[in-house]
Structure 1
């Protein structure tokens, strides 16, 4: 069944690298259109945390694959998944083909809800919901993304340096874009939204404009939106 095969369904795919603002924009879009929202990155964080909690090496693909088959999403409070260590570990397990394939069904079930849904991640527009009516690829420069993450972590009281976060982001970008299975990339029919010089309100307005344009004319060409 396609992502938009029922009249009136709206599936919005929001992809992008770490700290690009995609999660904030996806939540704004879900609220604006009255749709359920899924941060698919949390699923990978759950798997990573379960691997670490069980005492396995984060590089243990067999252990991660076994966890994917049976983990309970309700067993992971979101606060326990937001740390820097879990984010880095999630990027490692997300590069494992067995983990990605094991989570596809969960994500597609969420996207298949009657009215549609908003999902954000790394491969929503290319793999999970390739027929989504609206696809956004949200990005920003590595330096801007590192500054955002630094503010977020220091606000939570976590020790972090801008230089360390920037190195983490560049490493995650390379891992996410270079993996063989479902690499992070711009879908052919996605709209690129660069948030480097945009406020949250400006970026949200641009994102809503993109979705409205796709709803009105789903076949229009790719576009690039920035400051």
Structure 2
């Protein structure tokens, strides 16, 4: 019987980390944790409390109220997919909007926010058999993960995918705004002092600029199966 492992998927924004992580977990019978959704939930909380907007960010207020933020995942019985709940409210769709995306990297750069969420993420992975995606999973959350992937693509390709996704959801956005969001998030994620986005030394790079979703998933699934079988030997 194959041993269960931890699969850590890191990479730039809008590279499809969540999609492939969800597919992989389903195929392997593993638990999937979308850490980006956790940071988005905190961002939504901060926006609703008026701690952050285009003109200011009241970091101290957010840090003070962190103990009152409860984030959990519950499986939707109809879709079989895990959805995010913020203080018992299903916010799965709300947190995916561009206005939340515009502030999430600033929220994720707050050390106390990262500390709170990293502790929760590490607890989720204590029994292994988990696929987790984010920005620092292979470097900070699970540096001992048996499989680490780092996903990337050009900013143009990522913006085009994200734009189409938002338009398909009925959001009124421009491609220019989406591209700016992608570039800005790359800069903030890569230059923040606490747990910046970087590739773990032993991570496998997946550049999906020219890959279809099926090609990407097939490549990653083969890598995962090889690692799992190797661990079982």
**TM-score over 0.5 for the alignment?**
yes
State the match for 2:176 in structure 1: 163
Compare 85-94 and 54-63 and name the one that shifted more: 54-63
How many residue pairs align between the two structures? Answer: 211
State the match for 1:124 in structure 2: 137
Native 8 Å contact 1:12 1:133 kept in 2: yes
Q: Which has the higher contact order (CA 8 A, sep 6+)?
A: 2
Match of 2:62 among 36, 61, 64: 64
Alignment partners' CA distance in 2, 1:92 and 1:17: 15
Match of 2:47 among 52, 60, 80: 52
With over 3 angstroms needed to count, the CA separation of the structure-2 counterparts of 1:35 and 1:207, relative to structure 1, is same
Match of 2:37 among 34, 42, 59: 42
- Deviation by residue 1:69-128 (Cα, 9 ceiling, x = unmatched): 23122334211211001112111100111111121111111111x352110000000000
Native 8 Å contact 1:26 1:120 kept in 2: yes
Residue 96 of structure 2 corresponds to residue 101 of structure 1? no
With over 3 angstroms needed to count, the CA separation of the structure-2 counterparts of 1:105 and 1:137, relative to structure 1, is same
Runs (4+) off by over 6 Å: none
TM-score (normalised: structure 1): 0.88
Where do 5+ consecutive residues of structure 1 fail to align? 1-6, 219-227
Alignment partners' CA distance in 1, 2:226 and 2:63: 40
Alignment partners' CA distance in 2, 1:186 and 1:85: 27
State the match for 1:26 in structure 2: 21
Where do 5+ consecutive residues of structure 2 fail to align? 72-84
